[in-house]
Structure 1
Amino acid sequence: MSRAMDPLTVGRVVGEVLDIFTPSVKMNVTYNSNKQVANGHELMPSVIAAKPYVEIGGDDMRAAYTLIMTDPDAPSPSDPYLREHLHWFVPSNKVPFLVISIHFLKWVSLYTYIYLCIYPLCCRIVTDIPGTTDASFGKEIVGYETPNPVIGIHRYVFILFKQRGRQTVKTPASRDHFNTRKFSEENGLGLPVAAVYFNAQRETAARRR
């Protein structure tokens, strides 16, 4: 797909929120167990009320990731003076469990090793956030804030960064005026490895047929 036809570019996510990057990790974001986020698709506010299930797959199962969700259209797309508004922040500020389980392999049974290490490899799940504040590879630091678009159509962007080693990612000072580029620079995260966004507007807003 050409850069001009890339949905993140078409949706101005690349440009207004992110610099050009090459996705290298697969990320699936699903609401209510059956509503998967797809670039540019619209989701109703009632669907996105509770935090989604996030599934991440990569070649290195020992890798740590930071996930953020932002709204670059707050409080309204025509006057986004709060840009960006942070809706969710989940870093992996601890050693991935896979590393711990391998380190203590001699103390566990073969069955336990297969369950803890081989099973995740088969499923390719690195980060699992199914509505809990403490996932296997990440701890929710800034809780999920339910999107509540009042004026206009808002973009809600999930951005995934791969951490370098066992670094600690700093907690943002505020939800409002969050800046993804500055956040990445301050924490030495580099470019994202994955991103996806959806649109949402007020539940009772008029929609095109």
Structure 2
Amino acid sequence: MKGFTTVVHLAAVFGLLAHGVEASMKDEEAMCIYERLSGEDADFCWGNLEIIYPDLGDASCMYIPRCGQYRERISKEWGSPKVMFPEAEKDENYVLIMMDPDAPSSADPKFQNWRHWLVRDIRGSDLLTGDLKGNILSEYRRPTPPPKTGYHRYQFLLYKQPANQDISLTEEERATYGSWSLKRFTERYELPPPVATTQYRTANFNE
């Protein structure tokens, strides 16, 4: 009977521990904070551009939260997001740019405007559904902020594409992703001001 009592006692202890772990996980999920950007960061977000990742949803104008392993998943697991622009004109073409102005860090952005994604010939009808089928000039590169560099901004800019411009990257631009001149690129192809811009912030997932 003594051995049986010990087994029952241990089972009860393990049951309580398991319940505690489950409760802790639920508490962590319940405490997941989706913090919105503010100040100048929030001012950059305008035009209702939506950047949608699996499980996370629309990341526009927010900090990627720690919970749900979202920072790790956005850096290692998820591919390119759905991009929706409800005000797109379905028969127009658009250019989408994603870049990091804080490379390698906001304190020392010597590689600023690191190019993460560049797509031209995006049909407005695709922006209404979020499934882009344009001509990719730079493949999507996941956000991977280096350790100990704090938060990085990942900015998305959507332009209406001029009908008479054959947009491409120069050989020099194709050779590197960092220190990219957005101003030179937009002026070269006479891109008008963007119709919508947004951004999110995330940090290295180990921090």
Q: So what's the TM-score if we normalise by structure 2?
A: 0.66
Cα displacement string for residues 71-97 of structure 1 (whole angstroms, at most 9, x for unaligned residues): 00001111010011000011118xx5x
Which stretches of structure 1, 4 residues or more, deviate above 4 A after TM superposition? none
- Cα pair distance change 1:159/1:56, threshold 3 Å: same
The residue type equivalent to 1:177 in the other structure is S
- Cα pair distance change 1:127/1:52, threshold 3 Å: closer
Gaps of 5+ in 1: 1-6, 15-21, 99-119, 130-134
Higher helix proportion = 2
Structure-1 separation of matches of 2:118 and 2:71: 20
Offset at residue 160 of structure 1 (A):
0.5
Gaps of 5+ in 2: 1-36
| Percent identity over paired residues | 25
Residue of structure 1 in register with 2:34 after alignment: none
Residue of structure 2 in register with 1:139 after alignment: 135
Structure-1 separation of matches of 2:199 and 2:48: 14
Offset at residue 8 of structure 1 (A):
8.2
Q: So what's the TM-score if we normalise by structure 1?
A: 0.65
Tell me, what secondary structure is at the counterpart of 1:199? Answer: strand
Matched, 1:10 2:40: yes
Structure-1 separation of matches of 2:180 and 2:39: 20
Cα displacement string for residues 131-165 of structure 1 (whole angstroms, at most 9, x for unaligned residues): xxxx1xx1222101111101211000011011122
The residue type equivalent to 2:52 in the other structure is T
- Larger RCO (alpha carbons 8 Å, 6+ apart): 1
Larger Rg: 2
Cα displacement string for residues 31-70 of structure 1 (whole angstroms, at most 9, x for unaligned residues): 1154212214225432324211112233531110000100
Structure-1 separation of matches of 2:150 and 2:90: 40
Partner residue of 2:53 out of 31, 35, 40 = 31
Offset at residue 177 of structure 1 (A):
0.8
Partner residue of 2:189 out of 169, 187, 190 = 187
Structure-2 separation of matches of 1:198 and 1:42: 7
Offset at residue 195 of structure 1 (A):
0.7
Partner residue of 2:131 out of 116, 128, 135 = 128
Partner residue of 2:114 out of 85, 93, 113 = 85
